[in-house]
Amino acid sequence: MKPTNPKIFALIILTIIALSLTGYSYACTNGGIHIDCCYPTCDLKFIIVTTSDNEVIKDVGCVCAKISCDGYTINAYITNSYPCYEAYINYTVKNIGTCPIHFDSVTIINPNPEALAITTTNHTCTWLSSCERVKGTTTVHTLQPAEQSGQYTFQIKIGTSCQTRYPCSIGFWKNQFFEALCKNGRPQVPAATLEQYLNQINSQSQIFKFTGSQKDKFQKALNILSQYTSPSMEAKLKAQLLALWLNYVAGWTEGYKYGGKTAEQIIQGSENVLKNGPASQYAYWKGMCEGFNNLG
Amino acid sequence: MKRKQLRINQKISALFLVCLMSLAITGYAYSHWTDILTIIGNIQTGKIEITIDNQKLIPDIGYSKTPDNKTVTISAEITTGWQIWVGIIIKNKGTVPVTITHELTTSDKTHEIYFRNEIHFYGPYTTVPPQVWDDLNQMNLPPPSGEQTLPIDLPAGDKLVVWQKIRLEEPPSTSFTINIHSEYLGTLGPWQDWCEVIYYLRVRG
């Protein structure tokens, strides 16, 4: 029997190393290695479509719509339309992935604006959390100049993108400041970026103030974050709140919700309770901050 | 043998390269996930069309009709006391309902006062009842009962019966010719269609 060519093995090993490095570097740029039995997915589909029109007594025009097999397209058909006829296409979109999805744009392509007026729900700049649904309506109004026996078409494109970043835990942020201060290891968030985050928090927060040199700021942040094991509930809340602030200014909270609340709402609630009390609510808000930080 | 081994190695290398590239592309695609949901609309508009589906003259003095069933023309040489009942069935052959209205115009304003005109509308019907059409003749003259007032909505596919009487009432002093246009308009918003009965009448004084 002839021995297998060692070059093939070398090639396999090189490939494996290359793939591992690719994966590792991707993970590094996205907040570190995160081991989970579930992998993040991004997917969004139409799940329901219904139609109606503005006819009350007569039934002349007809509108029907169906979702394509892949769930990404609605095909709507309006027949026997006439001036002043209005058709409504009511749809529901569901985020069937595990990551939040951002609606980037809604574009209406109407080649015959003189004959058709198309309006649709503008989802732009809104987020859809995993398993969340959103409803929308498209209205097709046939205008006076529409011709008899005419054929018209339109398209609506809803552009979306996926939030593949996720909030990081208090431990992650503690490590970043620790590594930035001790200059050992390689922080995943550069020191300059960390300082920028603290400056942003400084200007927006009613609780946290970071002044002095970069080192002073980092030390103070590290001290606050290290208090999450403190027996004081106030210190624990502050530690989790600072981690949430860091996630927020890093843009890693966008699209996520915890307990039905956005990061902004939890920050607002936590700061209010820290400023005005009652102290009995510290535990609740600490839990909210912690829950959010651990979403990733 | 060596050449064969080399060829196999090349194939395996190519396979790995393809796999590597595919994985790289997959990773890139995932990290830049974007998607577009699309709503595609197709709109067909309806059309309106009214035609003269049938006609009946009492007495039957003859008529001509255009092939598109839009115009019925009646020509006659008449004297005082002459009268005619003209019945037409207007059919909505379009796909949308229309509102029917009527306009009567003449070519001679001076002599139109010699005529008396009356018009009666019946319907709309999916099937025209005999009492407003089949049963009417020289012995059983129009107008039948159950008339409707304008404007009348005529659904797609339905029919409207119209009976019109034209009578020369007064004796004219001189001979003249007059054209009477009895036009029926079907409208839906800005869309419009028509059909008409034209009378070419030569009056002997």
Q: Note the pLDDT tens digit of each residue in A185-225.
A: 677 888 888 888 999 898 889 989 888 888 888 888 988 98
- pLDDT at residue number A1: 46
Q: What is the pLDDT averaged over residues A81-103?
A: 93
Q: What pLDDT is stored for residue B52 in this prediction?
A: 97
- Is residue A124 within 8 A of residue A181, CB to CB? The reply is no
* CA–CA gap between residue A46 and residue A56 (Å, rounded): 28
Q: Which two tokens stand for residue A13?
A: 């090993």
Query: Residues B77-88: what's their mean pLDDT?
Result: 93
The verdict on a CB contact (< 8 Å) between B46 and A151 is no
Pull the structure tokens for residue B61: 């003095």
- Nearest neighbour of B44 by CB, restricted to A72, A81, A138: A81
Task: Map residue A18 onto helix, strand or coil.
Answer: helix
Mark which residues 116-175 of B lie under 8 Å from A by CB: 155-156
CA distance to partner chain A, nearest, from residue B119 (Å): 28
CB of A233 within 8 A of CB of A286?
yes
CATH topology of domain A44-162: Immunoglobulin-like (2.60.40)
pLDDT tens for each residue of A96-123: 988 888 898 999 999 999 999 999 999 9
The answer to whether A187 and A176 have CB atoms below 8 angstroms apart is yes
pLDDT above 80: residue A131: yes
Cα–Cα distance for residue pair B138/A185, rounded to 1 Å: 113
pLDDT of residue A3 exceeding 60, the answer is no
Beta carbons of A69 and A92 less than 8 angstroms apart: no
Q: What is the mean pLDDT of residues A85-104?
A: 92
Give me the sign of the Cα torsion angle A126, A129, A131, A132.
Answer: negative
∠ at Cα B124 (B120, B130), nearest 5°? 75
Average pLDDT over residues A46-65: 94
Strands A73-81 and B34-45 turn out to be parallel
Higher-scoring residue by pLDDT: A180, B103: B103
A209: Cβ contacts below 8 Å, ≥ 6 apart: A202
Residues of B in contact with A86 (CB under 8 A): none
Indicate if the pLDDT at residue A38 is higher than 70: no
Query: What percent of chain A is modeled with pLDDT above 70?
Result: 91
Q: A39 is written with which tokens?
A: 């992998």
Instruction: Compare all CA atoms of chain B with the CA of A161 and give the residue at the minimum distance.
Output: B34
Contact A189, B68 (CB under 8 A): no
**What residue segments make up the domains of chain B, in order of their start?**
50-203
The CATH architecture annotation of domain B50-203 reads Sandwich (2.60)
| Cβ-based contacts of A74 with chain B (< 8 Å) | 38-40
Lowest mean pLDDT among A11-15, A94-98, B33-37, B113-117: B33-37
Q: Give contacts of B30 with chain A, Cβ < 8 Å.
A: 42, 164
**Lookup: tokens for B114:** 């010699």
pLDDT at A33 over 70: no
Would you kindly state where each structural domain of chain A is located, as residue ranges? 44-162, 170-293
The Cα–Cα gap between B69 and B56 comes to 14
The pTM assigned to this predicted structure is 0.72
- Beta carbons of A225 and A239 less than 8 angstroms apart: yes
The pLDDT assigned to A37 comes to 44
